[in-house]
Amino acid sequence: MNLRDQRLKKYLKQAGNILPELDISEIFSLYTGEEPASGKITFSNQTDVFKKLSKFKEGTTLIHYTSIDSLFSILNSDILRMYNCVNKNDPWEINHANSKYEIGLNDLELLDFKQNNFITSFFEYDMRLQNDNKYLWNEYGNKGKGAGLVFEIENMNDSWEECYIGKVCYEDSSIPNSIYKRFIEFVKFHNEFNNQYHLFENTPSILSAIALHFKEVKWASENEVRIFAYCPFDKYDLKPLVLERKNNYLLSTIEHSVNGNGEIISYVSLPLNRSKVHDKLRINLGTDLSLNYLKSIPHLKLKRIVLGNNLQEADKINRIENIEKILNWHAMKNKTVEIQLGFSEINWKEDSHATGFSKSAPGIG
């Protein structure tokens, strides 16, 4: 066993006490001698580590708040977009985590990090309790006039590739063995170990993934859940980077546009109709390979559409009718799946009436 392997074995043993079952997939080094001491090291099962820490199970349901226009776009396109961190609402969020917790990303790595990591946000939701949140409606659901899409994650036990799910941490160190404390302890351990042994020639992507779990304590009431993915592309020609470890399916969906400020907007797409995607993929890949390809991403099944209740009664009727038309249209071209459709029970006015979930409609599969 060479010097590098001895150090790596020691590293993994100590790291495993903080993040259980962490392992590596590959080591790359230009050193050609018999005793390499370091290398570019890639962890193999980061997605599984994060999923176990979050303690989500098969059938977990999450709500995604959005505007009515975005709801129509999602239903018509059968996709949910994940935008890169360049386009985050809080542009200083990553810098805050990197600085406060000494994650160690330099300025160039921060730029690459924001470009190549893609996020979509959810919040925990119980189908039985219907526990949507007025604050979240106000912030993300067009002040109660938008919509909340409730998704079930069907394949939590699959091995996603460079795609993660995690509960956001809000600087609470009071809970023993919490995700927050584990992450802080791991970052400290990694930095101290590497300063002593100089094992890692790279900043491993697990540190970037950890950085995406942190927000300032002022956001703690949100209890946000994130799905995020690593999809690297060249910042000049915008083409996917071939040699880096990545989520190949999501990277194949990458799109770019320019906003009104001249900034490049980049996003990848999670499919909501996998049977349609599978039919296209198997033409080139065959049935088995196309199914394995799709196992690398979260499978989101739309279970319920919650409509904001901050509307006049006449507007509510029109909104329900318009959405039912879209769902009926989808039922004609897709496999029919029943989706619950109704209004939030949160009242925005004292004299308003909560409609609840008395309707179901066909929808996307």
C-alpha neighbours within 13 Å on the C-beta side of residue 16: 11
Average pLDDT over residues 248-265: 86
Q: How many alpha carbons fall within 13 Å on the CB side of residue 346?
A: 24
Q: Is the pLDDT reported for residue 112 higher than 80? A: yes
pLDDT bin (cut points 50, 70, 90) of residue 352 is very low
What is the rounded radius of gyration, in angstroms, for the C-alpha atoms of the chain? 22
Confidence of residue 337 (pLDDT cuts 50, 70, 90): low
Residue 115's closest CA among 270, 238, 210? Answer: 238
Query: Could you tell me which residues come within 8 angstroms of residue 211 by beta carbon, excluding any fewer than 6 positions away?
Result: 94, 97, 98, 101, 103, 105, 113
Q: Which residue has the higher pLDDT, 182 or 334?
A: 182
Alpha carbon 23 to chain centroid distance? 22
Lowest mean pLDDT among 53-62, 77-86, 88-97, 197-206: 88-97
Task: Return the percentage of the chain with pLDDT > 70, whole number.
Answer: 88
Specify the higher pLDDT residue, 288 or 177: 288
- Residue 266's DSSP bridge partners are 256
Residue-wise pLDDT tens digits, 38-48:
788 878 767 77
Cα(18)–Cα(22) distance, integer angstroms: 9
Residue 2 has pLDDT above 50, yes or no: yes
Tokens matching residue 241: 């980077």
| 142 pLDDT more than 90 | yes
Determine the Cα–Cα distance for residues 314 and 36; give it in Å rounded to an integer. Answer: 72
Give, for 270, the enclosing helix (H) or strand (E): strand 264-271
Mean pLDDT of 146-161: 89
**Domain residue spans of the chain:** 58-172+222-362
288-293 CB contacts, 8 Å cutoff, 24+ apart? 293/248, 293/249
CA nearest to 22, candidates 178, 165, 182: 182
Ranges 129-138, 150-159, 164-173, most confident: 129-138
CB 102 within 8 A of CB 187: yes
| Average pLDDT score over residue span 167-174 | 73
- Helix ranges (H only) for the chain are 3-16, 46-54, 68-77, 93-100, 107-116, 134-140, 179-197, 205-211, 248-252, 274-285, 287-294, 313-333
Q: Give residue 240's pLDDT.
A: 87
Q: What is the pLDDT of residue 363?
A: 44
DSSP state of 85: G
Q: In terms of Cα–Cα distance, which of 162, 131, 140 is closest to 61?
A: 131
Q: CA 124, 130, 132, 133 torsion: positive or negative?
A: negative
HSE-CB of 243 using CA atoms within 13 angstroms: 1
